[in-house]
Structure 1
Amino acid sequence: MAVLGRVLMVTLLFCAGFLPALSVDRSNFKTCDQSSFCRRQRKLEPGSSPYKALLGSAKVSEDKLEVQLIDDKNEASLLLEVFGLNGNMTRIKINEINPLKPRYEVPDVLVGTPLPENLHVTGQDENTLELTFRGVEHKLLLTGTPFRMDILSGRDLVLSVNSRGLLHFERLRERKSNLSAKVSMAFVNLWHRVKNLFSSDPEKIDKPLEGDVYPGEEAGKEEGSKKEEEDDEPGMWDETFKGHTDTKPYGPSSVGLDFSLPGFEHVYGIPEHADNMRLRTTESTDPYRLYNLDVFQYELYNTMALYGSVPLLLAHNIHRTLGIFWLNAAETWVDISSNTAGKTLLGKMLQYMQGGGDTPQTDVRWMSESGIIDVFLLLGPSPSDVFRQYASLTGTQSLPPYFSLGYHQCRWNYNDEEDVHNVDSGFDKHNLPYDVIWLDIEHADGKRYFTWDPHKFPTPKNMLSRLKDKRRKMVAIVDPHIKIDGGYRIHNEIRSHGFYVKNKDGGDYEGWCWPGSAAYPDFTNPEMRAWWSSMFSYDQYEGSMDNLFIWNDMNEPSVFNGPEVTMHKDAVHWRGWEHRDVHNLYGFYVQRATAEGLIQRSGGKERPFVLTRAFFAGSQRYGAVWTGDNAAEWDHLKISIPMCLSLALVGISFCGADVGGFFKNPEPELLVRWYQAGAYQPFFRAHAHLDTPRREPWLHGEENLELIREALQQRYALLPFWYTLFYRALREGEPVMRPLWVEFPSDVSTFAMDDQYMLGSALLVHPVTEANSRGVHIYLPGAGEVWYDAHSYQKYEASQSFYFPVTSNSIPVYQRGGSIIPRKNRLRRSSDCMPDDPYTLYVALNLQGEAWGQLYLDDGHSFNYEQNEFLYREVSFQHGELSSRSLDPRGIFETPSWVERVIIIGATKPSSITISIPGGTTKALEFEYDFNRSVITVRKPGVNIASDFTMSVR
């Protein structure tokens, strides 16, 4: 009956139009032309900027430039602020000087205010102001009429702002009819003032009347808005889409600005979209949309919005990398154009040889519905510089608990405690490692989150204790839609505190989601977030334990009967801000409050794990992200790579896709290939829809089980490597999974490549993503470098392309010459069983016979690493010696783990190998040499991994 009721609920919601179709109905989601502000902004033609900068108004202090901007069409005034920031960044803010009410400025995303660089005026004429930044090579040229800004590095133009004249800033205002009424009332008030002058009652003289206004002031405002009123068009004051009307009491409020990037043809970022990593031009399509939405079974290769939004765009060429970070949480569209779009490489070469054509240029236009213009220009010049610059603004990827890098088993839904026990036992029976089993919405009592179904999960602590005994974890879902039920404690407390989002009329906002009628906590309110965090304490979340972690789904927020399956834009949040202002921040705040709750329940000692579907800039600080409701199709497997690469480029490294596909039923080949690909993506979780057949790895035949087991073994062997990469992401802002061009920035052939990628700087991965594939085309970059097949140790000199034949067990992975990778090769039931296991060091020599690698380790779960309880070491091979040293002498951490094997790839046969420890003895080591593969295998060096040592290979 429970299953029947669930199916009936979904069917009723679908038939009522509250749920999208199983393949996305694009008519449920707006196009640019259906979004009135996007339509208005896009109607503006380049080259006719009405704005001029009043250079006479310029004020230059040590940390910023202030200039007034005037719109010649309606004489509206804006304030331009330019900040030079430490680390080769520039911040630009444009706002109304005297807005009708304050405009929204995004809080809580920036981790701090970057230190300013001193500004100096170094030149000026009647229409240009030249400024330089202390300590950097860049200069800024501000042109007065028409307004534009240019940033130069030496004599090279790096970036231009408003060079196409598309700055557009819609001022907040009241409707003309309202203004006319107020002006009339002003004259009435004036008449009463005149009468009061002749009154014998001195108390009435100059006494202001209720609602008193001054005719001159209101008339001036009316004059200033006449031109704007004349230009009014449908959608500016209210807007209807599919029966939902969005009221706009302060009228149109959008902002837009263009940026020109001379010399750049390749741009990336602005996730989330199911598209290639390299962004397309959008002159003939809709712009890329950033608006967090619940899109059921999304389409591939288009610019539609998906679950999350990060308004950071990166541009790269052989000379430079730069970024544009548009800090705005409202609905945003990004137009991209290029003067080389559509030209073939041959066409470009012929044009160059004939001496024609302009410098390649990409133009990017940002358009947001509300807020202000607040943009950071990240000037690189290298990819790693841009990553550090962005990390200094929004923070780095949090260091995940070690277990979360293992394999996660999930479906909607594991039925009950017995089902959980059987699945858990199945992994042991079939000798498969896994770390976490997940519970979806059916585990709760009637989808009342923070509860357990009393019939299916009557003893959650017993269930969790059994998993803990095996050193495994559980993740349970907690969504931000709260069932409206007078018998539900969570609902009653939120309502009593007044913590729900309000509708435009002041009542609690209500919509439909999985529990039926639901209300939505206002996570923009810090008091609400603090309350939410407190609900994860063990005495509040009954049945929870320290091995229970959390999944935040549906947090776009998803509202089945709302416009575009989300919240009405005129809903009201904390401090009176409209939902239109904060929409893309909602999921960010949900994940933040949940992560803080898991930290607080441990007294601040333990690291959280929280998976989120919706996200924004800065979400990397709070956990992991997945790519949402994908399908069991080969193209969905393929698109998972560029989707995660795009997220990694904007700081969110902890990304993965539902292995096997959420919807539909994968054939065994697709499922196996997805496990093989997922084993080499940062977040590794299988997940499936409730209507799909069970997919546990042992249900597909012995041959496929063995293939999946091998993929899992490869993942677990590399956990020390993964953990070290995440530490680098924490400390340096480096993406864990990264495009090839990040490591090979001058190799043009890598710039659009997204079917293969790097893990750190050491491993190149090319998953098999085609059905019935007999081979894949591999490109190994880096002229003068060497690569080795990670499985066979076959050597390849770079750069070269070749066809690599594959079989069902092939996972094409190549280790870069010059790298050292630590692995743990003993198969255990979970990562928590592995801390004391020994290491094998894989030393891949470059053509100079050298290699370097790093290893980070700590207790894997607490924040003690912040008190220097960690080890961070470098292992290097130079001049025939393998040595280990500390990279951070502050770190102190004891481990019994030792080095049981060293494999040196690309080596000549030695005559002897010895190992010595400072202050200790030197001993000879046994080794084997494989002539066919040029591989030395050194057995049982026996040295502790935390020790300094030198192994001599002679």
Structure 2
Amino acid sequence: SAIVYLEAGKHSITADMEKDDTPTLGLRMDDGTTVLSSPVADAVDYTVFVGTADEIVSSYRTLTGEIPMMPQWALGYIHCRERYHSSEEIIRNAETFREKQIPLDLIVQDWQWWGDTGWNSMVFDSKNYPSPKALTDSLHDMNTRLMLSVWSKIDKSSDLGKQMLDKGCYIPDTDWIDFFNPDAAQAYWSNFSNRLLKPFGIDAWWQDATEPENDDLVGRMVANGTMHGELVRNCYPLLVSKTVYEGLRKDSPERRSMILTRSAFPGMQRYGAATWSGDVGNDWNTLKTQISAGLGMMAAGQAWWTYDAGGFFRPRNQYTDKDYIERMLRWVQTSVFLPLMRVHGYMSDTEPWHYGAEAEQLFKNAVQMRYRLLPYIYSWAAKVSFEGNTFMRPLIFDFPQDTRALEQRIEYMFGDAFLVCPITEGGIRITECYLPENKAGWYDFRDGRHYSGGRYIRTSVDMNAIPVFVRAGSIVPMGEDVQYAAESMGGTLDIHVYPGDDASFTLYEDAGDDYAYENGESSTITFKWNDSRRTLEIGAIKGSYAGMPATRTIKVTVGDSTEEISYSGRKVKVRF
């Protein structure tokens, strides 16, 4: 990338296109020109955004669509594997999470739940899933939710496939639904809603392989023969998410949608869809490149992203391979500081208790930290939705003038307080981290040690956690140890002030699982730290929502000092 400094005023941009250009996207550093071309498009439109990194992303979302709030429970722990084979297996594992007190909000049923009824027939295998409603009821009784993998591909020989074929719903010569045809999209949703959504109370939807897989748009006409597949191939996942999101808003208006998809396109964010990075390996270099890929997605305006923590493809001896277990734990520890925290693995029992008692405890510690950070994370989710912000942040977002910060490829900010330094090598006991320029310095999140900024430091590392630093002049709200996200609502707040500079933070809360916030049902509390006076002002609460607590305990920690107050919504000052 390159940064060009322009004076205020009007500037011209010249775009030169050649019809026979090969596919290219690149910056010619020798003369400062950017080359964009397409082998299939008749024309290329350019939109230029100017401003800081945050302003550019915000402007992009203003143009392509703002982001609805994720359900609060989607920001907890998402447990997935390839695959569960029965309702009984899902329930048994969810019960074990609860028995072992490892927090969990969402458990995932991957593909082939349809058995021999035909690929994605939208009919559960009656032998292994005799009552999907009983399954979701059992999970809900444990305050756990279910995500189901639903494809855009339907076996033509299935009962549903025959209906879709009769209606002309397929991309020619494939089993993929033609979402460019509005009638096909509507037929897909109607069956989705009536066969899966309405009867069973399923909470979240995994739209897999939405490229579509195997590039099946190439060489085929879509939209009743009016569009060339090559011209619109990148738009397919957008239309899948649009169909599902708009259907959910219509047929399940009381609950926030949660959609996970493998591919994205500009505008995807307005349909509340999250992406994950696909079926990746598990080695150290893959972990490193996944982090870079995620930062790229953030810079491209997509706020909700994650990876398969532990890698999708895993070694056969994964449960006893000490080297793999170390890698898996580093994937998981990094995922604490991703927009979504999710484990997945191919032909694997990914539950942490399969990897030995020590690994299980370290895994549990990581998930518990995720849940303690939920007040911070959910407030940043609100900043994403209401301010066009980004909370997995390449360092250019916060330190554009720090040339050494711009050289970092895997360090990133999580919100504006946390600097995350992932471990991407095995056997590390000492690692080097760059602390960007910050006049008040940084605190080690693990032990509270203070460092000056604008320099590299060497820090010790063990298997308990990856290095994470907090910017001095920050306020971090945290919660208690809980077993699921909703359990934290209205509970004790731990407000951690990292002194050295003035600081502020606005805590956002709402009901967590509905769209009442769109009608103003939410609350905010602003915390302001005056560093010279050593006072924290807790502002009066603004707004309200169903279930909002009348009073709550707030513990404020500054260094080694902690003060506890009972907060009833009125402004109060705490002195240190």
- Shared fold, TM over 0.5: yes
Q: CA deviation at 1:445?
A: 3.4
1:899–1:942 Cα contact (<8 Å) kept: yes
C-alpha distance in 1, partners of 2:190/2:112?
Answer: 23
Correspondent of 1:333 among 24, 41, 44: 24
Q: CA deviation at 1:829?
A: 2.2
2:295–2:393 Cα contact (<8 Å) kept: yes
Q: CA deviation at 1:568?
A: 2.6
Correspondent of 1:851 among 500, 503, 515: 503
Partner residue, 1:950: 572
1:479 aligned to 2:151?
Answer: yes
Q: CA deviation at 1:458?
A: 1.1
Q: Which residues in structure 2 correspond to 1:240-279 (within 5 Å)?
A: none
Q: CA deviation at 1:755?
A: 1.7
Give identity over the alignment, percent.
Answer: 26
Pair 449,753 (structure 1): closer, same or farther in 2 beyond 3 Å: farther
1:837 aligned to 2:491?
Answer: yes
Correspondent of 2:122 among 433, 450, 474: 450
Partner residue, 1:605: 254
Partner residue, 2:244: 594
Q: Which residues in structure 2 correspond to 1:329-368 (within 5 Å)?
A: 333-339=24-30, 361=32, 363-368=34-39
Partner amino acid, structure 2, of 1:941: I
C-alpha distance in 2, partners of 1:627/1:575?
Answer: 32
Partner amino acid, structure 1, of 2:340: F
2:120–2:151 Cα contact (<8 Å) kept: no
1:167 aligned to 2:21?
Answer: no
The DSSP-based 3-state class of the residue aligned with 1:567 is coil
Hey, which of these two has a bigger chunk of strand by percent?
1
The DSSP-based 3-state class of the residue aligned with 1:941 is strand
2:150–2:207 Cα contact (<8 Å) kept: yes
Correspondent of 2:76 among 392, 406, 423: 406
Q: Which residues in structure 2 correspond to 1:637-652 (within 5 Å)?
A: 637-652=287-302
1:784–1:798 Cα contact (<8 Å) kept: yes
1:462 aligned to 2:145?
Answer: no
Q: Which residues in structure 2 correspond to 1:283-298 (within 5 Å)?
A: none
C-alpha distance in 1, partners of 2:202/2:561?
Answer: 42
Pair 543,456 (structure 1): closer, same or farther in 2 beyond 3 Å: farther
The DSSP-based 3-state class of the residue aligned with 1:492 is helix
Correspondent of 2:284 among 619, 622, 634: 634
Pair 714,542 (structure 1): closer, same or farther in 2 beyond 3 Å: closer
C-alpha distance in 2, partners of 1:371/1:520?
Answer: 26
Partner residue, 1:527: 183
Partner residue, 1:69: none
Partner residue, 1:785: 440
Partner residue, 2:3: none
1:664 aligned to 2:314?
Answer: yes
Q: CA deviation at 1:542?
A: 7.2
User: Alpha-carbon deviations, 1:662-716, whole Å to 9, x = none?
Assistant: 01225211111111011111121111112xx423101111111111111001101
Partner amino acid, structure 2, of 1:629: D
C-alpha distance in 1, partners of 2:61/2:402?
Answer: 25
Where does the alignment leave 5 or more consecutive residues of structure 1 unmatched?
1-135, 141-150, 152-159, 170-253, 257-286, 288-331, 340-359, 502-508, 512-518, 560-564, 906-934
C-alpha distance in 2, partners of 1:838/1:527?
Answer: 51
Partner amino acid, structure 2, of 1:569: G
Pair 542,526 (structure 1): closer, same or farther in 2 beyond 3 Å: closer
1:727 aligned to 2:352?
Answer: no
C-alpha distance in 1, partners of 2:438/2:103?
Answer: 39
2:178–2:184 Cα contact (<8 Å) kept: yes
User: Alpha-carbon deviations, 1:724-776, whole Å to 9, x = none?
Assistant: 11111111221110011110111111223122100111111112121111122
Partner residue, 2:557: 903
2:112–2:120 Cα contact (<8 Å) kept: no
Q: Which residues in structure 2 correspond to 1:510-525 (within 5 Å)?
A: 510-511=173-174, 519-525=175-181
Where does the alignment leave 5 or more consecutive residues of structure 2 unmatched?
1-6, 319-323
Partner amino acid, structure 2, of 1:369: V
1:858–1:870 Cα contact (<8 Å) kept: yes
1:580 aligned to 2:204?
Answer: no
Q: CA deviation at 1:547?
A: 4.0
Q: CA deviation at 1:815?
A: 1.3
Correspondent of 1:678 among 335, 352, 370: 335
C-alpha distance in 2, partners of 1:695/1:458?
Answer: 24
C-alpha distance in 2, partners of 1:536/1:863?
Answer: 22
User: Alpha-carbon deviations, 1:125-155, whole Å to 9, x = none?
Assistant: xxxxxxxxxxx94324xxxxxxxxxx2xxxx
1:737–1:757 Cα contact (<8 Å) kept: yes
The DSSP-based 3-state class of the residue aligned with 2:464 is coil
Partner amino acid, structure 2, of 1:531: A
Pair 570,495 (structure 1): closer, same or farther in 2 beyond 3 Å: closer
Q: CA deviation at 1:806?
A: 0.3
C-alpha distance in 2, partners of 1:892/1:371?
Answer: 51
C-alpha distance in 1, partners of 2:556/2:438?
Answer: 28
C-alpha distance in 2, partners of 1:903/1:893?
Answer: 29
Partner residue, 1:416: 86
2:410–2:422 Cα contact (<8 Å) kept: yes
Q: CA deviation at 1:891?
A: 5.6
2:508–2:525 Cα contact (<8 Å) kept: yes
Moved more, 592-601 or 451-460: 592-601
Partner residue, 2:359: 704
Pair 743,544 (structure 1): closer, same or farther in 2 beyond 3 Å: farther
Q: CA deviation at 1:886?
A: 5.8
Q: CA deviation at 1:892?
A: 5.3
Q: CA deviation at 1:524?
A: 1.6
1:471–1:833 Cα contact (<8 Å) kept: no
Partner residue, 1:873: 525
Q: CA deviation at 1:824?
A: 0.6
1:758–1:765 Cα contact (<8 Å) kept: yes
Hey, which of these two has a bigger chunk of helix by percent?
2
Q: CA deviation at 1:655?
A: 0.6
Pair 902,710 (structure 1): closer, same or farther in 2 beyond 3 Å: same
Partner residue, 1:144: none
Q: Which residues in structure 2 correspond to 1:43-82 (within 5 Å)?
A: none
Partner residue, 1:494: 164
Pair 362,821 (structure 1): closer, same or farther in 2 beyond 3 Å: farther
1:468–1:547 Cα contact (<8 Å) kept: no
The DSSP-based 3-state class of the residue aligned with 2:38 is strand
The DSSP-based 3-state class of the residue aligned with 2:27 is strand
Pair 454,547 (structure 1): closer, same or farther in 2 beyond 3 Å: closer
1:449–1:479 Cα contact (<8 Å) kept: no
Correspondent of 2:56 among 383, 386, 409: 386
Partner amino acid, structure 2, of 1:883: E
1:459–1:543 Cα contact (<8 Å) kept: no
Aligned residues: 557
Q: CA deviation at 1:807?
A: 0.7
1:478–1:551 Cα contact (<8 Å) kept: yes
Pair 835,535 (structure 1): closer, same or farther in 2 beyond 3 Å: farther
C-alpha distance in 1, partners of 2:378/2:199?
Answer: 27
1:471–1:830 Cα contact (<8 Å) kept: yes
Pair 540,696 (structure 1): closer, same or farther in 2 beyond 3 Å: closer
Q: CA deviation at 1:543?
A: 7.8
Q: CA deviation at 1:949?
A: 2.3
User: Alpha-carbon deviations, 1:416-458, whole Å to 9, x = none?
Assistant: 1121122112212222011111111121233234221111111
The DSSP-based 3-state class of the residue aligned with 2:567 is coil
The DSSP-based 3-state class of the residue aligned with 2:222 is coil
1:571 aligned to 2:192?
Answer: no
User: Alpha-carbon deviations, 1:843-877, whole Å to 9, x = none?
Assistant: 1112x4x2211211101111100111001232111
1:449–1:478 Cα contact (<8 Å) kept: no
Normalised to the residue count of structure 2, the TM-score between the two structures is 0.92
1:573–1:579 Cα contact (<8 Å) kept: no
The DSSP-based 3-state class of the residue aligned with 2:129 is coil
C-alpha distance in 2, partners of 1:393/1:543?
Answer: 33
Partner amino acid, structure 2, of 1:361: G
